[in-house]
Amino acid sequence: MAKSKRKPKKASVSANRVAELAGVSRSAVSRTFTDGASVSAETRAKVLAAAERLGYHVNHLARGLIHHRSGIICLIVAEMQTPYQAAFVDMATRRLQAIGKVVMVLNATGQPANVEAALRQTLNYRADATVVVSGSPPASLIETCIENGQRVILINRDDAAAGPHVVMVDNDTAAREAMLMLRRAGCVRLAVISSTAGTPSIIARERAFAAAAQEQGLEVQIVRAGPTGYAAGADGARQVLALSSRPEGVFCTTDLLALGFMDAARQEFCLRVPEDLCVIGFDDIPEAGWLGYNLTTFRQPIEEIVSQIAQILETEDEEDTGPRCLPVQVVWRRTVRP
């Protein structure tokens, strides 16, 4: 009588009905739809015909019940409307579908509690694996996942020590390279435009850039004007360019920050890029290549990251191969003087 009570509509057609119509046993139907099972061509044909006529589709819920694996991969993600995350989800769904998986997207935007709720769903649906792109899941829940035979794959977040698989990108090398690029362009006063999000990736980029600069005896100003995004980049520009000695070279920890920064620099401070100011981003989102920006940046190897995920999924053994670190590639465009 509760509000959640729904009438079961029309029961969907089951293997029983197909078997009946085809004049074979239910097992035969099952085997027809199971790879590698032993069925004669004749019965197979009969079954397929009957299935087609009735609109039968194997119930993956029941199948998952038996196999202890549902074929579902959970993707825990937040801020999905940002270009980088969107591109990632796009690529991931495509690749994982190609290897016969299906992706359940759990949006963990907002409170950290949402990550926990998302991870719970993962367990409820007996997902084959969980890919965490955003947010930091509580260690206890990760443990539960693993104890239940589930795999957890962390992308660009090395905080959780052992257990889950980790795929990350070589933020350090990239950030150091960025510093050298600005240095070679003749920039002396440097700044990092970053965000208050404080994700492992962003922190790593800030730190590595600052460390590299310090080794050269250069001072770096770090500005975090808000949550990662265009607006924070623009605000960062307003903070940093109003100073008497404005920076000549800027490393933005995200492309979106870089684009906001450049727009504010040009519109509100009448600065030219790269003549007055060199800018480097990170991610290589599509917008970075637009005519108005031509942002020099580092390409996140999304395809490779997803390939690593696919590879982990297809590997039998639970060997902890340690974190996999992928190189990033610099994309030269026109916001840094050569």
Partner DNA sequence: CCATCAATTGCACAGCCTTGCAACAAAACT
Partner DNA sequence: AGTTTTGTTGCAAGGCTGTGCAATTGATGG
Closer of 58 and 330 to a second copy (Cβ) = 58
Closer of 210 and 236 to a second copy (Cβ) = 236
By a kind-dependent CB cut-off of 5 to 8 A, residue 27 interacts, out of DNA, a second copy, none, with DNA
By a kind-dependent CB cut-off of 5 to 8 A, residue 81 interacts, out of a second copy, DNA, none, with a second copy
Per rule CB under 7 A, is residue 65 in the interface with DNA? Answer: yes
* Angle (nearest 5°) at CA 121 between 115 and 125: 150
Handedness of CA 282, 287, 289, 294 (dihedral sign): negative
Closer of 161 and 291 to a second copy (Cβ) = 291
**Amino acid code (one letter) for 322:** G
Give buried/exposed letters for 266-287 (b at 16+ CB in 10 A, else e): beeeebebbeebbbbbbbbbeb
Classify burial at 121, counting beta carbons within 10 Å of its beta carbon; exposed 0-12, middle 13-18, buried 19 or more.
middle
Least separation in angstroms between CB 34 and DNA: 5
Per rule CB under 7 A, is residue 58 in the interface with DNA? Answer: yes
Task: Give the Cα separation of 44 and 46 in Å (integer).
Answer: 5
Task: Give the Cα separation of 39 and 74 in Å (integer).
Answer: 34
Closer of 86 and 325 to a second copy (Cβ) = 86
Least separation in angstroms between CB 318 and DNA: 19
Residue count, binding to DNA (CB under 7 A): 31
By a kind-dependent CB cut-off of 5 to 8 A, residue 316 interacts, out of DNA, a second copy, none, with a second copy
| Angstrom distances, CA of residue 299 to CA of 78, 128, 154 | 21, 29, 19
| Angstrom distances, CA of residue 187 to CA of 151, 262, 300 | 46, 17, 25
| Angstrom distances, CA of residue 214 to CA of 95, 175, 176, 218 | 41, 13, 11, 5
By a kind-dependent CB cut-off of 5 to 8 A, residue 238 interacts, out of a second copy, DNA, none, with none
Structure tokens at 317: 């053994």
Closer of 11 and 41 to a second copy (Cβ) = 11
Handedness of CA 241, 243, 244, 245 (dihedral sign): negative
Among 62, 117, 180, 243, which residue sits at the site for DNA (rule: CB under 7 A)?
62
**Amino acid code (one letter) for 108:** A
By a kind-dependent CB cut-off of 5 to 8 A, residue 41 interacts, out of DNA, a second copy, none, with DNA
Q: Looking at 60-68, 180-188, 210-218, 260-268, which segment touches DNA (CB under 7 A)?
A: 60-68
Closer of 59 and 196 to a second copy (Cβ) = 59
Per rule CB under 7 A, is residue 63 in the interface with DNA? Answer: yes
By a kind-dependent CB cut-off of 5 to 8 A, residue 329 interacts, out of a second copy, DNA, none, with none
Task: Give the Cα separation of 121 and 115 in Å (integer).
Answer: 10
| 8-47 residues near DNA, rule: CB under 7 A | 11-12, 14-16, 24-31, 33-34, 37-43
Number of helical (H) and strand (E) elements in the chain, helices listed first: 12, 12
By a kind-dependent CB cut-off of 5 to 8 A, residue 185 interacts, out of a second copy, DNA, none, with none
The owner of tokens 């027809």 is: 32
Structure tokens at 207: 């730190």
Closer of 40 and 216 to DNA (Cβ) = 40
Least separation in angstroms between CB 178 and DNA: 50
In the Cβ-directed half-sphere of 241, how many Cα atoms lie within 13 Å? 25
Least separation in angstroms between CB 291 and a second copy: 4
Per rule CB under 7 A, is residue 59 in the interface with DNA? Answer: yes
Closer of 26 and 324 to DNA (Cβ) = 26
Which residues would be at the binding site for DNA (CB under 7 A)?
11-12, 14-16, 24-31, 33-34, 37-43, 56, 58-59, 62-63, 65-68
